[in-house]
């Protein structure tokens, strides 16, 4: 149990590192940037 728990954080870390790399390779960084640099009308409550 203790040993499993010790490993679980690192296994998840590895998994999400892979997820991150796939997302970066798919070009999602640019999508996030595009959205973040223009005023979001939904966020400010007018659209």
**Shortest Cβ 1–other proteins spacing (Å):** 11
7-36 residues in contact with other proteins (CB under 8 A) are 8-10, 12-13, 15-24, 26-33, 35-36
Q: Check residue 1 for interaction with other proteins (CB under 8 A).
A: no
Report in angstroms the alpha-carbon separations of 14 from 2, 17, 18, 35: 19, 5, 6, 28
| Residue pointed to by tokens 């940037």 | 33
Q: Which residues bind other proteins (CB under 8 A)?
A: 2-3, 5-6, 8-10, 12-13, 15-24, 26-33, 35-47
């Amino acid at each position: 149990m203790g040993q499993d728990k010790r490993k679980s954080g690192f296994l998840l870390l590895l998994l999400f590192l892979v997820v991150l790399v796939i997302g970066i390779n798919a070009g999602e960084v640019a999508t996030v940037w595009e959205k973040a640099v223009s005023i979001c009308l939904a966020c400010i409550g007018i659209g």
